[in-house]
Amino acid sequence: MTSRAYAKQEQEPASEEVAEAAPGVLRLQLPIDMPGLGHVNCYAIEDGDGAVLIDPGLPGPVSWSALNQRLDRASIPLRRVHTAVITHSHPDHFGGSHQLREETGAELVTHESFTAAAGGFRTADEVDLDLLELGPDELVELWKQRVTEMAPTPWGTRRQPPPDRAIRRWIEMGGDDAPPRLRFPDPTVRVADGQVLVLGGREWLCVHTPGHTADHLCLWDPEGGVLVSGDHVLPTITPHIAGSAEPGDPLARFFASLDRVGALDGITVCLPAHGHPIADVAGRTADIRRHHIERLDVLRAASAELVDAPVEAYMKVLFAERAWGQMAASETFAHLEHLRLTGEAASRRDSEGLLRYQINGDVDTTDSDDDA
């Protein structure tokens, strides 16, 4: 299987090989099946006490057996894993940590703002135990019913249940408003920006990089020049910016986090959570920033014709039809809110409750008493 068969590195299926991604840092690829993603990179760093794993993959038996197989190859006994670092609150990163803690007692390290809510997940205390008795089909039906009963999106549309297959997958992962089968982890160590973690006998600086999620954490080893970037910097795709889950201006926070990481001095290699190591981090962060600047330009240009339009109309300009849906609308909303919060756009709620945006316009909202 060559990487040439895939348009994007992040889509490649998980390799069974264990590779040294940077001096002293092993890459254990774990399988995932999510839109556009075929694997997640779990990085292992050994020290005198055992080993640290960064992002131990999805919950469930498939990922767990892959993790054990890779650890075997790396000659790291599972019981030697004493710590898991979780870069952010998405299931392909934290999902395996619960079982890891149960079986090894490993410490779970996250950024101090790590929260189930950032990814729309529930904590263990919120699990309704009766739901665990329901079969998969009943859970799917219950989910659909709950989605239709939910409050509208921030931009005013009714929420549509995703296809059954997607619901089943989310239920397995304990996702957004599903009755969770698996629990959200409870971190045992919460770190702040600038704090130093000693992993593998080396000092790693915790770099808080909000944007993709508000709780995103990168690890930076200035001595070795190694950056572990999670989903903040990916080699050939750009991370999703979720306007629906992140209050305020997540795109502005993402820009600031890109600039910060791009300015780190002396990076020799960047290890992303999906895809292959990145050599030119400053170049890649500049490319990702440019991608979003171009998207903002597309919205500005579209507004000349749309004039005063709901999020869905802008989404259809920004995204190809196959991508239309809640995620695309959420990212469009993040971009429109960025324009509004930087003074380039105005929004108002129409009589149907939809948020309508006008960009660059000298919009007069004084005739509307229900401005958002």
Q: Cβ closer to Zn ion: 221 or 231?
A: 231
Count Cβ atoms within 10 A of the Cβ of residue 349 and give its class: 0-12 exposed, 13-18 middle, 19 or more buried. Answer: middle
Beta bridge partners of 269: 226
Question: Of all helices (H) and strands (E), which one includes residue 153?
Answer: none
Residue of 236, 218, 239 whose CA lies nearest to 227: 218
Directed axis angle between helix 250-262 and helix 281-306, to 10°? 150
Closest approach, Cβ 65 to Zn ion, in A, equals 20
SS3 content of the chain, % helix, strand, coil (to 5): 35, 25, 40
Q: Cβ closer to Zn ion: 92 or 249?
A: 92
199: three-class secondary structure by DSSP:
strand
Residue of 59, 57, 25 whose CA lies nearest to 43: 25
Q: Cβ closer to Zn ion: 147 or 173?
A: 173
Q: Cβ closer to Zn ion: 92 or 176?
A: 92
Residues at the interface with Zn ion (CB under 5 A): 92, 231
369: three-class secondary structure by DSSP:
coil
- Distance from CA of residue 263 to its chain's centroid? 22
Strand 37-47 relative to strand 50-54, pairing: antiparallel
Structure tokens that stand for 18 in this block: 């264990």
Q: Cβ closer to Zn ion: 253 or 356?
A: 253
Q: Cβ closer to Zn ion: 170 or 357?
A: 170
Contact 275, 235 (CB under 8 A): yes
In sequence order, which residues have a C-beta less than 8 Å from that of residue 167 and are 6 or more positions away?
A: 139, 140, 143, 144, 161, 178
Q: Cβ closer to Zn ion: 183 or 274?
A: 274
Q: Cβ closer to Zn ion: 92 or 221?
A: 92
What is the distance between the terminal CA atoms of the chain, rounded to a whole angstrom?
Answer: 51
Dihedral pair phi/psi, residue 31, rounded to 5°: -75, 140
